[in-house]
Structure 1
Amino acid sequence: MKLTTKIGALKEYLINVGVDDRLAPAEVRKVRLINGILLTGELLFVLLIIKSMIMRVPEEWSVQMAGALLFPIPIFLNRFRKYKAARVLCILIPYIYLSALTAYWGSERGSQLIIFACAGLTVLFFEDKFKIYTLIALGGLCIIAVEVYNYDHEPFYQTQSLKLAHVINILITITMLAVISSIFKDENEKYQWSIQQKNRQITLQHNQLLKLNRELQDSLKLINEQTKYAQTIQQSILPLKEEMRRVLPDHFVFFKPRDLVSGDFYFVTKVKGKVFIAAVDCTGHGVPGAFMSMIGYNLLLEAIELNHISRPALILDYLQERITYALRQQQTDNRDGMDISICVIDRKHNILEYAGAKHPLLLVENGNLHKIEADRVSIGGVLRKDDHQFQNHSFDLASISDFYLYTDGFRDQYGGADFKRFMSHRFRDVLFDNHHRRTSEQRKTLERTFAEWSNGHEQTDDILVIGVKLSR
């Protein structure tokens, strides 16, 4: 490597002392300016010391050695990220040193003139006008102070070549201003180049973000279109309102999916005089839950309308077998499934039958609310038991006025003053306190209660509540 290349690399290394990648370009420029100016001053001190030693004037080179030791201090402060202190000391150290030098040599040597050049540095290092004016005024005060001091005191050290020294200091001042201007010009060009580079990067990133945003918008549009289409398909499997009123004249359904499509669904049909009602909660919500709901709906149709299974417990046994087979849960790690409560109204034999997989039944019997516990086993999923047989429950229709099937979305909703879950006991109280009302009013009460409890908070899960009032 050539000597000039090595010197250039060393110079660039010293000027970049303390430069941090996290600094803004304007701050980088200030750090490099301070380092460059002080290194120039340090080089000047070295030359002056060599000159004094050659001329055998120890009184001069010892004083210049003191300056050579003081000037690197701001560079060390930059090295340790003390940028503000470095800027202030870059101004104050020359003030103090040159004032002391003027008192030592006297005003005739012209050392105080260099303070003017140092005062000009303030506009390069600071934006605050108060700091700029204060530091410039401080430089002026230093000059006035040493002039007043030297007016009444003799200098500590005198030389026979005062006129020559005065000329030299004027030349030093002019040289310093020229060097500072050159350094500032170079650093300003580098600063402008850095800004242009960053602007190009920002423009490139902006264009990339615009492209990504367009792609994201297109993807979101496609997803929304597909999800809305999935919603249309899912809604098509739900019982029509007219069909529901024909099969269950007095009922309500409070159905509130968390997303456009839902993992919850309700099933109502009438086969051979028996009315089948089910509230189903499939694994997940949104699109994954909707896929499971389609499987669950088809399996319910298969069990009831094709295979003519009429007992709720046997329907759940059938679903357990078919879900396990359809999702190949014996051979794979698939653990999707569903929780379900299903009732059969048999007017011919005047009984209500129920079976549940983790979802209970609430019924109002002889004026009291009763909770009929479900089997603690899911259809498919993690908690499935392939050899489990579901329990069937039978009740006399004559003693029942109302009954309710539901998923766990309502009771699990977070809200209220303490942002807690609604909980099962509060949910049961709302249903029982309003069971004597018309079913349309019960539904409105549930809607209002949910809105007040959630109070704008995000809906936790899909919500489904079915209430049936039995006519006498």
Structure 2
Amino acid sequence: MSLIYKIASIREYLVNVGVDESLPPQEVRKVRLVNGILLTGELLFMLIIVKSLIMQVPEEWPIQLAGALVFPMPILFNKWKKYNLARLFCLLIPFLYLSLLTLYWGSERGSQLIIFACSGLAVLFFDKRVYVYLLIALGGLCIIAVEMYNFDHEPIYRTEQLKVAYVINIMITIILLAVISSIFRRENEKYQKSIQRKNSQITNQHSQLLQLHNDLKESVRLINEQTKYARTIQQAILPLKEEMEDIMPDHFLFFKPRDMVSGDFYFVTKIRERIFIAVVDCTGHGVPGAFMSMIGYNLLLEAIELNFIFEPAKILDYLQQRIVYALKQQQTDNNDGMDISICVIDREQQVLSYAGAKHPLLLIENGEMRKIEADRVSIGGILGRPDLRFRNHKFDLSTITGFYMFTDGYRDQYGGEEFKRFMSKRFRKLLLNNCNKRTYEQKAIVEQTFTEWRGKNEQTDDVLIIGVKL
């Protein structure tokens, strides 16, 4: 049993020479077929040599030994991953060898019959019909050529046991066909099992993917529902359109979140004849930004409506301290923060006050635009400085016809023919060219320009602009 097992293991090893894991199952089958047929042919050569020894025909030994040495060559091609070359040689070597053998012994030996068996192998080895037809035709041409030659010429060597040799070669042909059929059937069964196993794996994977898809779909549904609810809450804290129109009769608001909820928000309120306007860009966008916006909005309410801090710079100082304290940024690695610009319109004093953390203010004076730079530091975050005191800027209302407050989403939007950012210079020019128009017309122009610039590209960030005419 042990000897049979070892022989079977050696045969299986030789049959799998050249088989690579990256090969598809149908290619693996072809490699194994070539190796199996070549090993069978080699075994037949050994039997033929034994037959010649028994029949004491020493003239046959050299040519039979040459065939036994040449026939295994395609197995080496398989080992070197030269698969098509191995299949081609698996057919050409028998064609050439048997043709020479027929010329050597004559047609009476029946060696040419084995060419018929070898010609049919082309169907098993090649998928393209042209290769199959050419190789079968080549086998036929070999038979025709040697028959025509033997018709006019005597064999190079004629043996006395022609009848016995003829019968033996017919038996070899039958055995070869039977063995090839057996090998093909066995390899085809393995191929079918391999395909079934892979189909089973694909089915299982499909079931798993379908389950994952359903789970993901359900998760997305829950996230969307929760995000919609978060949007409802965020929108609830923002000033109503009617409230803003009552406080600022001549203004426009362009607010376009990138996601369902936004990290940008605006704040508008009126206390003691003072109008407070803030435009805020929190760290991140989407849900994380929305959480920060809730904190920022509540802190603005706390500063203005509870602590009655009316000076913009002091409001920012208060926000700086409260953000650092609320997020424990001195004890943790939390880097969240916000960029903000805030204006206070005091009608009694005829003064416009402004302070900014990274967000400048654009004033329109005498038909010209004036940019008021913000302090180059954020509220909170990694660049936050609790000890910093923000600067306050004051302007005479009588000289100002309007102003603009905004986050950086508009200028940072990628688009245009060259897929570039909109940039601050183009943004200021757009506002200046349309500052004399009515605010609803300005909003329409700003919105249309943004849509055309973005085109089919994704929105880069949340966008928020407030324009006020005085």
Which band: TM-score by shorter chain?
over 0.9
Q: Which residue of 2 aligns with 1:38?
A: 38
- 2:403 equivalent to 1:390: no
| CA distance in 2: counterparts of 1:157 and 1:315, whole angstroms | 115
Q: How does 1:110-259 map to 2 (within 5 A)?
A: 110-259=110-259
Q: Where do 5+ consecutive residues of structure 1 fail to align?
A: none
Q: Write the letter of the residue equivalent to 1:220.
A: V
Is the contact made by 1:227 and 1:260 (CA closer than 8 Å) also made in structure 2? yes
Superposition deviation, residue 343 in structure 1 = 0.3
| CA distance in 1: counterparts of 2:297 and 2:105, whole angstroms | 103
Superposition deviation, residue 380 in structure 1 = 0.4
Over residues 150-176 of structure 1, what are the superposed CA-to-partner deviations in whole Å (9 max), with x where a residue is unaligned? Answer: 122222222111111111100000000
Q: Which residue of 1 aligns with 2:429?
A: 429
Is the contact made by 1:119 and 1:139 (CA closer than 8 Å) also made in structure 2? yes
Q: Which residue of 2 aligns with 1:377?
A: 377
Q: Write the letter of the residue equivalent to 2:305.
A: E
Q: Write the letter of the residue equivalent to 1:460.
A: T
Q: How does 1:304-319 map to 2 (within 5 A)?
A: 304-319=304-319
Q: Write the letter of the residue equivalent to 1:45.
A: F
SS in 1 for 2:401: strand
| CA distance in 2: counterparts of 1:390 and 1:13, whole angstroms | 81
TM-score normalised to structure 1 length: 0.98
Superposition deviation, residue 56 in structure 1 = 4.5
Over residues 131-165 of structure 1, what are the superposed CA-to-partner deviations in whole Å (9 max), with x where a residue is unaligned? Answer: 22221111111000011111222222221111111
Q: Write the letter of the residue equivalent to 1:437.
A: K
SS in 2 for 1:127: coil
Over residues 207-234 of structure 1, what are the superposed CA-to-partner deviations in whole Å (9 max), with x where a residue is unaligned? Answer: 1111111100000000000001101111
Over residues 402-438 of structure 1, what are the superposed CA-to-partner deviations in whole Å (9 max), with x where a residue is unaligned? Answer: 1000000000011111111110000000000000001
Superposition deviation, residue 318 in structure 1 = 0.2
Superposition deviation, residue 81 in structure 1 = 1.6
Q: Which residue of 2 aligns with 1:352?
A: 352
| CA distance in 2: counterparts of 1:105 and 1:456, whole angstroms | 80
Q: How does 1:313-352 map to 2 (within 5 A)?
A: 313-352=313-352
- 2:450 equivalent to 1:456: no
Q: Where do 5+ consecutive residues of structure 2 fail to align?
A: none
Is the contact made by 1:363 and 1:400 (CA closer than 8 Å) also made in structure 2? yes
Is the contact made by 1:48 and 1:61 (CA closer than 8 Å) also made in structure 2? no
SS in 1 for 2:18: coil
| CA distance in 1: counterparts of 2:129 and 2:373, whole angstroms | 79
| CA distance in 2: counterparts of 1:134 and 1:380, whole angstroms | 80
Q: Write the letter of the residue equivalent to 1:389.
A: R
| CA distance in 1: counterparts of 2:291 and 2:65, whole angstroms | 84
Q: How does 1:15-164 map to 2 (within 5 A)?
A: 15-164=15-164
Superposition deviation, residue 58 in structure 1 = 3.4
Q: Which residue of 1 aligns with 2:285?
A: 285
SS in 1 for 2:112: helix
Query: Which deviates more from structure 2 when the two are superposed, residues 75-84 or residues 350-359?
Result: 75-84
Superposition deviation, residue 130 in structure 1 = 2.1
Q: Which residue of 2 aligns with 1:368?
A: 368
| CA distance in 2: counterparts of 1:328 and 1:101, whole angstroms | 94
SS in 2 for 1:391: coil
- List 4+ stretches of structure 1 deviating above 6 A: none
